[in-house]
Amino acid sequence: MSSGDWLIDSSVLFRLFLSLILGGVIGWEREMYGRPAGLRTHVMVCLGATILMLASEYPQKTFGAAGPAVFNPDRVAAGIITGIGFLGAGAIMREGNLVRGLTTAGSIWFVAGLGIVIGKKFYPLAICATLAALTVLVLFRYLEAWVNIIEFRDLVVGIDSQNYEKVSGRCETILKESGIKVDDKHLIVDQVNNEVEIRFALKFKKVNPKEKMIFELSRLEGVKKVTW
How many CB atoms are located within 10 Å of the residue 178 CB?
17
pLDDT score recorded for residue 47 = 93
Select from 96, 115, 110 the least CA-distant residue to 54.
Answer: 115
Categorize the per-residue pLDDT at 2 as very low, low, confident or very high, splitting at 50, 70 and 90.
Answer: very low
pLDDT digits (tens, 9 = 90+) for 22-31: 999 999 988 8
- Go through 40-55 and write b for each residue having 16 or more CB atoms within 10 A of its CB, e for each that does not: ebbbbbbbbbbbbbbe
pLDDT score recorded for residue 90 = 74
Task: Return d(Cα 157, Cα 137) in angstroms, integer.
Answer: 34
Q: What is the three-class DSSP state of 181?
A: strand
Residues in the chain: 228
Tell whether the torsion through CA atoms of 43, 47, 50 and 52 is positive or negative.
negative
Q: What is the three-class DSSP state of 150?
A: strand
Categorize the per-residue pLDDT at 110 as very low, low, confident or very high, splitting at 50, 70 and 90.
Answer: very high
**What number is the average pLDDT over the span 182-203?**
83
State yes or no: pLDDT of 85 exceeds 70.
yes
pTM to 2 decimals? 0.69
**What number is the average pLDDT over the span 70-97?**
75
- Go through 140-151 and write b for each residue having 16 or more CB atoms within 10 A of its CB, e for each that does not: eeeeeeeeeeee
Domains of the chain: 8-146 (no CATH), 150-227 (3.30.70.260)
Categorize the per-residue pLDDT at 71 as very low, low, confident or very high, splitting at 50, 70 and 90.
Answer: low
State yes or no: pLDDT of 137 exceeds 50.
yes
With contact defined as beta carbons under 8 Å apart, do 25 and 130 qualify?
Answer: yes
pLDDT score recorded for residue 26 = 92
Categorize the per-residue pLDDT at 135 as very low, low, confident or very high, splitting at 50, 70 and 90.
Answer: very high
**DSSP string of 79-119, one letter each residue:** HHHHHHHHHHHTT-EEETTEEE-HHHHHHHHHHHHHHHHHH
State yes or no: pLDDT of 36 exceeds 80.
no
**What number is the average pLDDT over the span 82-107?**
76
pLDDT score recorded for residue 7 = 56
With contact defined as beta carbons under 8 Å apart, do 171 and 198 qualify?
Answer: yes
**What number is the average pLDDT over the span 166-183?**
84
Task: Return d(Cα 210, Cα 227) in angstroms, integer.
Answer: 12
State yes or no: pLDDT of 179 exceeds 60.
yes
State yes or no: pLDDT of 78 exceeds 50.
yes
Task: Return d(Cα 118, Cα 164) in angstroms, integer.
Answer: 62
Average pLDDT, the chain: 81
- 163 exposed, middle or buried (CB, 10 Å; 0-12, 13-18, 19+)? middle
Task: Return d(Cα 88, Cα 97) in angstroms, integer.
Answer: 20
pLDDT digits (tens, 9 = 90+) for 113-122: 999 999 999 9
As beta bridge partners, residue 205 has: 150
Task: Return d(Cα 193, Cα 179) in angstroms, integer.
Answer: 32
